[in-house]
Amino acid sequence: MKNIAILTGGDSEERVISLKSGQVVRDHLPKDRYRPFLIDIQKADWREPDSGVQMDKNDFSLSLNGEKIRFDCAFAALHGTPLEDGKMQGYLEMLGVPYTCCNGYVSALTMNKHNTKLQLAQYGTVPMAKSVLLHRGEKADHNKLASLGLPLFVKPNTHGSSFGVTKVKSADALPTAIEEAFRFDKEVVVESFLPGREFSNGVLRVNGEVVVLPVTEIIPETEFFDFAAKYEGKSQEVTPADLSAELARQCQERSRFLYEALQCRGVVRFDYILVDDTFHFLEANTIPGISPASIVPQQARAHGWTLGGFFSLLIEEAIR
């Protein structure tokens, strides 16, 4: 029986999503193979929420009912900081605790939308929207922004769950959108609009081999795939997506390439806009949503796995 620390909570606006994700993992892990323990991370306060007992950060252990519990693996169910941005991974590695997500460097890189695009630009084979990076306190070059055309997307550079994201349809609305994005981050990305259908594709390793899951099409009821579309049922998600075999293959091959080029671990979800017959990369999610209704669990089920079986594969690969 393996002891599993399910890392949840966190310090960002995504905390509410993380708490739900952690509960889903605990509910679905096979109880004949694993003892799951939720660990709620809030800055330096790490505790098991049912008992209120604090984690001993000296050795990543928990003392419950006279038992000192050491963990065989940490399951990544914490969206945003301090896990999805890579801060915790070095600590876990120093203690020799396996974890089910990308390492600290890759997590920090992919959390930074602008730097991820710079990293991928060197290959010359990954179509992406044009974008401009803005820094808090610097004056925006409005001529450069205007060259991107309208509409535009304005988003925090290192934030998830669509917090602070605005679709801008007029130049007059741009300053307000930039100000809103700066509420969540010290850097903001202004990105050209890509007219097309939105798709998402999960990738993971199983027994050392890269497995690309079926593709999902996202059809939001809102203007774009925002918080309401992601978490309040305001979108339709079709898995497997209604695509020709050739287009599905193109998307899956691009996802495989990105997973290996970025040296990912665990399950990673890549988001795209299909413009004509070409998939344009939007961003990488190294700790994607894992509620039963979330995209990656939909893809795992379409692949033939139960949620518990899927989570087990992530744990066993991390330990392997």
Q: Which one of 61, 82, 100 terminates a domain?
A: 100
Contact 77, 70 (CB under 8 A): no
Task: Please say if 289 is a catalytic residue.
Answer: yes
pLDDT tens digits, 144-165: 787 888 899 999 998 755 678 8
Task: Please say if 271 is a catalytic residue.
Answer: yes
Task: Please say if 47 is a catalytic residue.
Answer: no
Task: Please say if 283 is a catalytic residue.
Answer: yes
Least confident of 61-65, 100-104, 164-168: 164-168
Decide which of 206 and 138 is more confident: 206
> Is residue 172 domain-shared with residue 230, that is, in the same domain?
no
CATH number at 48 reads 3.40.50.20
Give the pLDDT of residue 232.
52
Domain that holds residue 274: 109-126+195-319
> Is residue 90 domain-shared with residue 179, that is, in the same domain?
no
Q: Cα(first)–Cα(last) distance of the chain, in Å?
A: 16
pLDDT tens digits, 11-39: 888 899 899 999 999 999 999 999 999 99
Mean pLDDT, the chain, integer: 91
Task: Please say if 269 is a catalytic residue.
Answer: yes
- Structure token pair of residue 279: 């998939």
The upper half-sphere exposure of residue 281, i.e. CA atoms within 13 Å in the direction of its Cβ, equals 27
Task: Please say if 160 is a catalytic residue.
Answer: no
Beta-bridge partners for 188: 134, 156
Which residue out of 14, 198, 226, 317 is catalytically annotated? 14
> Is residue 217 domain-shared with residue 313, that is, in the same domain?
yes
Give the pLDDT of residue 222.
64
CATH number at 270 reads 3.30.470.20
Q: How far apart are CA 14 and CA 78, in angstroms?
A: 8
Contact 162, 83 (CB under 8 A): no
Which residue out of 84, 85, 237, 283 is catalytically annotated? 283
Number of domains in the chain: 3
Give the pLDDT of residue 233.
57
> Is residue 208 domain-shared with residue 280, that is, in the same domain?
yes
Which residue out of 285, 294, 312, 317 is catalytically annotated? 285
Q: Which one of 192, 213, 236 terminates a domain?
A: 192
pTM of the model: 0.89
